[in-house]
């Protein structure tokens, strides 16, 4: 099978590329912000990497059977500073990828976001990601394109981004531990999150690609269990409150994220196999 992966050089995208190649699929990886170290370790006969995303603007013809559309402006806070960039990438970019996929006769799996569970006008990021879900449904209804949505919940694991505007909270904490810094907790840390290991996300994406509906149906990829941020921070520092620093909570964030996975599990036979507490304990054992 020939598979297009947008956002191929990102945290989740790189895992998807690795999985597809292990299954002997030919992968076309697209990303404008590719990680050079990861590329050097993944070059091979069944991988084509491209940093030029202009092919989407030109509706360049590509021969592929399945698209994992993971590319996005992927964080809440940057959307307060770069709203038009989020609109362009997450909405217009998604429409262009849908149209390219329609021309190939392929199938598209879209990376949704848990922010859809809250008020979608809370931040521009959430608005644009939900718009992407709606575009998938429109292309299915209007043009018969096979699409499905995988809604992600706070993904973590090796290769996660630890610094900069795309960093994850678990990645930030691991970096702070490594640097001997206090762990930063926003607000009082009472906000609750459903954390999902990247390997569970990949297995979920594969299940959706193979067994999911074709009408833009939304599948939740989480654990169905959430934890407070302060609870997990304390676990990282083994209960030493002096190693935690509270900082102002930024705007636009949800109080609670929690995936509904029963329907996903029943329909696809998919179950998450990792939990965040065991991961945190393994980080401590590794001496980070």
- Predicted TM-score of the model (pTM): 0.94
Q: How far is CA 270 from the centre of its chain?
A: 17
Model confidence at 60: pLDDT above 60 = no
Q: What local confidence, expressed as pLDDT, does residue 285 receive?
A: 63
In this predicted structure, the answer to whether residue 39 has a pLDDT above a threshold of 60 is: no
Token pair listed for 165? 């505007």
How far from 249 is each of 77, 147, 185, 256, 279, CA to CA, in Å?
A: 11, 36, 8, 14, 25
Is the pLDDT assigned to residue 115 strictly greater than 60? yes
Report which listed range, 40-44, 121-125, 280-284, is most confident. Answer: 121-125
Task: Measure the CA angle with vertex 11, ends 211 and 73; round to 5°.
Answer: 90
What local confidence, expressed as pLDDT, does residue 134 receive? 98
- Alpha helix (H) residue ranges in the chain: 11-22, 36-40, 54-57, 78-81, 83-87, 93-104, 124-143, 169-178, 198-211, 229-236, 262-268, 276-285
- Taking only the tens place, the pLDDT of each residue in 223-270 is 999 999 999 999 999 999 999 999 999 999 999 999 999 999 999 999
Average pLDDT in the chain:
91
Cα 251 to Cα 248: distance, rounded to the nearest angstrom: 9
Q: Does residue 65 have a pLDDT over 90?
A: yes
Residue 43, pLDDT > 80, answer: no
pLDDT at 50: 72
User: What pLDDT, on a 0 to 100 scale, did the predictor assign at position 32?
Assistant: 75
Confidence category of residue 61, pLDDT binned at 50, 70, 90: low
Count: domains in the chain: 1
Distance CA 43, CA 254 (A): 39
Higher pLDDT, 42 or 97: 97
Mean pLDDT of 95-102: 93
pLDDT value at residue 37: 58
- Label residue 98 left, alpha or beta by phi (over 0 means left) and psi (-120 to 50 means alpha): alpha
**What is the model's pLDDT at position 48?**
75
CATH number at residue 65: 3.40.50.720
Domain with 17, as residue range(s), is 2-285
Residue 35 in this model has a pLDDT that exceeds 60: no
């Amino acid at each position: 099978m020939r598979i297009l992966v947008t956002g191929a050089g990102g945290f989740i995208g790189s895992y998807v590329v690795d999985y597809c190649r292990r299954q002997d699929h030919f992968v076309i990886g697209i990303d404008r912000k590719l990680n050079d170290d990861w590329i050097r370790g993944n070059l091979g006969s069944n991988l084509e990497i491209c940093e030029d995303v202009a092919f989407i603007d030109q509706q360049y013809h590509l021969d592929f059977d399945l698209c994992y559309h993971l590319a996005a402006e992927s964080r809440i806070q940057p959307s307060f500073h770069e709203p038009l960039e989020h609109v362009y990438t997450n909405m217009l970019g998604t429409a262009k990828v849908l149209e390219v996929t329609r021309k190939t006769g392929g199938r598209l799996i879209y990376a949704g976001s848990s922010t859809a569970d809250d008020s979608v006008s809370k931040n521009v990021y959430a608005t644009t990601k939900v718009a992407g879900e709606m575009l998938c449904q429109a292309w299915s209804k209007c043009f018969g394109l096979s699409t499905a949505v995988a809604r992600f919940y706070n993904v973590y694991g090796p290769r996660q981004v630890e610094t900069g505007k795309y960093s994850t909270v678990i990645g930030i904490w691991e970096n702070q531990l490594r640097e001997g810094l206090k762990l930063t907790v926003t607000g009082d840390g009472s906000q609750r999150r459903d954390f999902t290991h990247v390997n569970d996300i990949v297995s979920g994406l594969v299940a959706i690609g193979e067994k999911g509906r074709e009408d833009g149906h939304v599948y939740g990829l989480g654990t169905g269990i959430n934890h407070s941020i302060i609870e997990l921070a304390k676990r990282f520092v083994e209960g030493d409150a002096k190693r935690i620093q509270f900082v102002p909570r930024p705007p636009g964030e949800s109080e609670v994220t929690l995936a509904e996975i029963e329907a996903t599990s029943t329909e696809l036979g998919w179950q998450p196999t990792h939990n965040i507490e065991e991961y945190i304990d393994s980080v401590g054992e590794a001496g980070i």
